[in-house]
Amino acid sequence: MKFTRYSKFNGLDVFGINLGDLMDALSDSLLSSGYDDDYYWTRERMPQDTSLDALRRALLQALIDQGLLSQHQIQQMLDENEGKYQGSQLQETLNQLIERLVEEGYLTLHEEPPTSEQRRQMMGGNGEGQIEEPVPRNVKFEVTEKGLDFLGYKTLRNLLGSLGKSSMGRHDTSHLATGVEAEAASKPYEFGDTINLDVNTTLLSAIQREGLNVPLNLEYQDLHVHQCDYQSSCATVVMLDCSHSMILYGEDRFTPAKKVALALGHLIRTQYPGDSLKIVLFHDSAEELPLAKLATTQVGPYHTNTAEGLRLARRILQAQRKDMKQIVMVTDGKPTACFIDGGTPASLSAGRRDPGGMNAGRDVREPQSRAVGTALQRRLYKNSMGGDPWVMEATFREVQACRKAGIMINTFMLASDYYLVEFVKQMSAMTNGKAYFANPNNLSQFVLIDFLRRRKSRVK
């Protein structure tokens, strides 16, 4: 049975709020990358808070930012409940918004089992009756696949809409234009061609051969078919750097990168159904990440193992039966780690004996990674100073392997240091790829422009 709840109107129509605009305003909170003001000093990432209280705080901030709720209205709702938030109209309003988001399929709620402390509270007692507050439920929220796809759609629309008018394209704009639809000239039919018959050219060929007679005799050589643009398929792997430098220097660089991946996913799913998109995270190691897990992925205290990321991306692309294969790598630094086989090279021990020498910063240790299936005989070699010959050799070896496999590497570097520019130029030249140097504000626009340009420049 459906119940209708009546309450005093407080100036905010909960059921009239556009949930799409609300999800757009929540995107930064839902796609949290672990960025925190104290991360530079502590080097410890804060786990993402997915509790209902955190969701209510994010919703309240989104309503304020959109101008749907003012500080005066908030205070008025609290005053009606003697200044208490619990049981106030404000809490009811936020709960109704959460219910709408769940009903529309943008979010999902699930209750986690009680913690050990909560279990002790429930099981405690000496047999005597007592009055106390009930143990709170541990309810968490998650973004659904529909919610992620919608965030990708909103990001894509904002990015492409900001580019203005264009002389050609398939994306809707608010501008009007005139034009004609042109096609390539038809060709004589050959066995195996699609029967897309050009009736006018076929009849004209028969008339030129026999004249205008009735009935008109058509022969095999009179048949002409339309020619259409050849459309190939493309397999794309987006490599996302989730090393600690992505949020280290007072700037969140990982959240824009995640938005790019979501936008590319929506673009491929809706406009290029024959294409494929995979996500690879690279840090101390590398791992393939399902698109549904991208929203909750955070950076960590990792180094940059570009070679392992390229190796995994190459293996994924080689398993794809597509005409084109490319890697879109988003990073902000030079490679600082790689895997080595067997024992420690003799030259590396000098760095431990001479901390201030040429080998300072080098370290060899067992791999600490979220990846599964890493070979046990491999050891992780790290040099946080960058430019290490062992790391660079391993990286360029994988770049060469990508070139031999016909895989193009497009790099989007979130830095502009001289040694980084030279490294990216060399890597791009080896695979005939492109390199862009961007910042978190224009990264997504660069990626989407380049992706669309490559789709239009395929072999006809």
User: What are the DSSP calls for 81-129, one per residue?
Assistant: TTT-STTSHHHHHHHHHHHHHHHTTSEEEEEPPPPHHHHHHHH---SS-
Q: Is residue 198's pLDDT more than 50?
A: yes
User: Quick one: DSSP state of residue 352?
Assistant: H
Average model confidence (pLDDT) across the chain: 76
Per-residue confidence band for 391, with pLDDT thresholds at 50, 70 and 90: very high
Number of C-beta neighbours around residue 139 at 10 A? 14
Which segment of 147-151, 240-244, 309-313, 359-363 scores lowest on mean pLDDT? 359-363
Q: Is residue 450's pLDDT more than 80?
A: no
Q: Is residue 325's pLDDT more than 70?
A: yes
What pLDDT was estimated at residue 120? 61
Tens digits of per-residue pLDDT, 113-134? Answer: 766 665 665 555 555 555 555 5
What pLDDT was estimated at residue 197? 84
pTM: 0.67
Burial of residue 137 (CB within 10 Å: 0-12, 13-18, 19+) is exposed
Tens digits of per-residue pLDDT, 89-109? Answer: 888 889 999 999 999 988 888
Which segment of 265-274, 359-368, 408-417 scores lowest on mean pLDDT? 359-368
More confident residue, 227 or 63: 63
Q: Is residue 352's pLDDT more than 60?
A: no
More confident residue, 311 or 352: 311
Please state, in angstroms and as integers, the Cα–Cα distance from residue 278 to each residue in 156, 315, 320, 402, 409, following that order: 18, 12, 11, 16, 14
Angle between helices 418-431 and 389-404 (to 10 degrees): 30
Q: Is residue 319's pLDDT more than 80?
A: yes
Q: Is residue 401's pLDDT more than 80?
A: yes
> Which of 30-34, 198-202, 369-373, 437-441 has the highest average model confidence (pLDDT)?
198-202
